[in-house]
Structure 1
Amino acid sequence: MMTTIPTPHAATVASALPYAMPRCRNAQLALFALRRMGAFGLNDAQVAHGFVGAFGESFRRPLILMRVLMAELADTAALPIAIAPCCCGRVTPAEHAVLTALNRADTAPDTARLLLADLLGTRRIDGVLASASAVAQAFADAGRPIAG
């Protein structure tokens, strides 16, 4: 007798992954780093390889700052941060909040502060906001600004 594995209901998938993959290649790179480092640790070789390919010889600054941001997120979070697998073509609300915060860290810091505070479940997010701003600036300085 053959059994079928039930597929998740479309409403369940839509509620868990409500956002489309960002179109900006730089935001996709930041999302890739967020997912890989969140799942496999700060020293993930695939993230390092991706940053070398994207930034060339100047990969160190954005890579180290991304590691700092991930460490700050993990250290500060009072709530779980949901991340999807790297192969997933949709984005979780938590991932969307981080990407939006990276996009607005320098242009709309109050918005970024509120997004990160809500995501992390705490109001003391100065270190995380500073790290997000540094990551956004490192990407922009390398000619790869993170767009929303």
Structure 2
Amino acid sequence: MTITATLSALPHVAPVCDHARLVLFAIRRMGAHGLSDARAAHGFLTAFGEGFCRPLTLARALMADVAATSSMPISIAPCCCSRMTASEQALLTILARVEQAPVSASLLMADLLGHRRVEGVLASAAALAAAFADEGRPISA
């Protein structure tokens, strides 16, 4: 794969925020290996300690909602990539904005999923973002 092809498939750099990187890791693992991926669960256990259940469950719920609701494919990169797809960037931006800029997050989610009725998936994203924030790990894009 040439540099130009790589940059067009993975146009965004990986997030600087540790919390966003954890969510990106979980998105990639669950997207590729299923919602019950043990490595994603271990990542949450390592980051959150005993409080890992809530964010992990909400991450699983968000991924299930996105998969069930999307009318178009959502591309994810392998875990080893230091760059992100446009879909991954959109999800992280939604998680970072859903509390302070819900209209912007809603429009991004509508673009990502390919239709206008995104309230349920947006609620899942808000719950996940709140779980991270409640544990002192706000997601920033």
- TM-score above 0.5, yes or no: yes
| Alpha-carbon shift at residue 101 of structure 1 (Å) | 0.1
Alignment match, 1:93 = 86
CA RMSD of aligned residues (A): 0.5
Secondary structure of the equivalent of 1:59?
A: helix
Describe the superposition over 1:18-72 as per-residue Cα deviations: whole angstroms up to 9, x where unpaired: 1001000000000000000000000000011110100000000000000000000
1:69 aligned to which of 52, 62, 72? 62
Describe the superposition over 1:116-147 as per-residue Cα deviations: whole angstroms up to 9, x where unpaired: 10011011111110000000000000011001
Q: Mapping of 1:1-148 within 5 angstroms?
A: 8-148=1-141
Secondary structure of the equivalent of 2:71?
A: coil
| Alpha-carbon shift at residue 12 of structure 1 (Å) | 1.1
| Alpha-carbon shift at residue 10 of structure 1 (Å) | 1.5
For 2:3 and 2:22, locate their aligned partners in 1 and report how far apart those are by CA, in whole Å: 27
Secondary structure of the equivalent of 1:140?
A: helix
Paired amino acid for 1:20: V
Q: Which runs of 5+ in 2 are unaligned?
A: none
Q: Whose radius of gyration is greater, 1 or 2?
A: 1
Alignment match, 1:5 = none
Secondary structure of the equivalent of 2:79?
A: coil
Paired amino acid for 2:95: L
Moved over 3 A (4+): none
The number of residues matched between the two structures is 141
| Alpha-carbon shift at residue 87 of structure 1 (Å) | 0.4
